[in-house]
Amino acid sequence: MDTNERETLLSCRDLTLGYENHAVAEHIGFEVTRGDYLCIVGENGRGKSTLVKTLLGLQPLLGGQIERSPALKRSTIGYLPQQTPVQRDFPATVEEIVISGFLKKCGLRPFYTKRERAKAEEKMERLGIAALKKRCYRELSGGQLQRVLLARALCATDTLLLLDEPVAGLDPKVTQEMYGIIEGLNREDGITILMISHDIAAVLGYATHILHVMHGSCFFGTTEEYQKSEAGKLFAGGDHAA
């Protein structure tokens, strides 16, 4: 593996996360190296989604330090949020949703370039939704919706994807398909993955690293180290919700 592939994209030290000066997570520390597949786990209310929003600049950091590689700007991070009823009811075509992933890169430019349109087409092909591009977004199934939103996120980045519960509400078959797609993006396309998940037993087979957010602390290490840790033994072996 060359030097560029091992570049540190994110370095987070002693983070305090929360809303309006109310901390929901403290002493969070981890690093993300290019090519990693980091799974973020923990019980409800421990600050996992808050962490992702903080990394995106959607939520202020209450304490600690986040260092980003020069290659990693907020506008070049792809984000797949949890699905909401508002998202599902958006009146646009699949093609319009996907290409909107370039909006941050457009700046004041009021149009998409030929290259951007070609790349949007490429991402739809990559995720098997090119045949749906003229379909209305709100007519799609849950699995199709997630593929569309993932294609949109890929238009924003070739470097880092942040995924917040990407298989929530999907049936088992579609869930496994989505995990396979994400694994392919990581291993074949070289995209670094940060994924929040409650399905720790499933993601242990994919993740290279685990960040377990706990009350007032965290565990960060390789998947192998996590499975040997007390946190890993308790969490992976129980029926905990993320």
Q: How far is CA 23 from the centre of its chain?
A: 22
Domain boundaries, the chain: 1-72+162-173+194-242
pLDDT confidence tier of residue 2, bands split at 50, 70 and 90: very low
pLDDT confidence tier of residue 203, bands split at 50, 70 and 90: confident
State the fold for domain 1-72+162-173+194-242.
Rossmann fold (3.40.50)
Best CA proximity match to 214, nearest among 17, 65, 13 = 17
Provide the β-strand partners of residue 167: none
Taking the C-alpha atoms of residue 56 and residue 163, their distance in angstroms, rounded to an integer, is: 12
**H or E stretch covering 22:** strand 22-33
Q: pLDDT by residue (tens digit) across 153-179?
A: 999 998 999 999 999 888 999 999 999
* Positions of E strands within 125-216: 160-164, 192-196, 209-214
Whole-model pTM over 0.85: yes
Best CA proximity match to 125, nearest among 151, 149, 145 = 151
Taking the C-alpha atoms of residue 95 and residue 131, their distance in angstroms, rounded to an integer, is: 10
Taking the C-alpha atoms of residue 20 and residue 5, their distance in angstroms, rounded to an integer, is: 37
Segment 66-73 shows an average pLDDT of 86
Segment 19-45 shows an average pLDDT of 91
DSSP 8-state symbol, 135: S
- Can you give the pLDDT at residue 84? 65
Long-range contacts from 128-135, C-beta under 8 angstroms, 24+ separation: 129/94, 129/98, 132/94, 133/93, 133/94, 133/95, 133/98, 134/93, 134/94, 134/95, 135/93, 135/94
Taking the C-alpha atoms of residue 130 and residue 122, their distance in angstroms, rounded to an integer, is: 8
- Can you give the pLDDT at residue 233? 84
Q: pLDDT by residue (tens digit) across 208-240?
A: 999 999 888 899 999 999 999 988 887 766 444
Least confident segment among 25-39, 107-121, 138-152, 184-198: 107-121
pLDDT confidence tier of residue 109, bands split at 50, 70 and 90: low
Mean pLDDT of all residues in the chain?
88
Provide the β-strand partners of residue 37: 193
Best CA proximity match to 193, nearest among 214, 166, 229 = 166
Q: Is residue 82 over pLDDT 70?
A: yes
Count the alpha carbons within 13 Å of 45 in the hemisphere toward its beta carbon.
2
Q: Is residue 53 over pLDDT 50?
A: yes
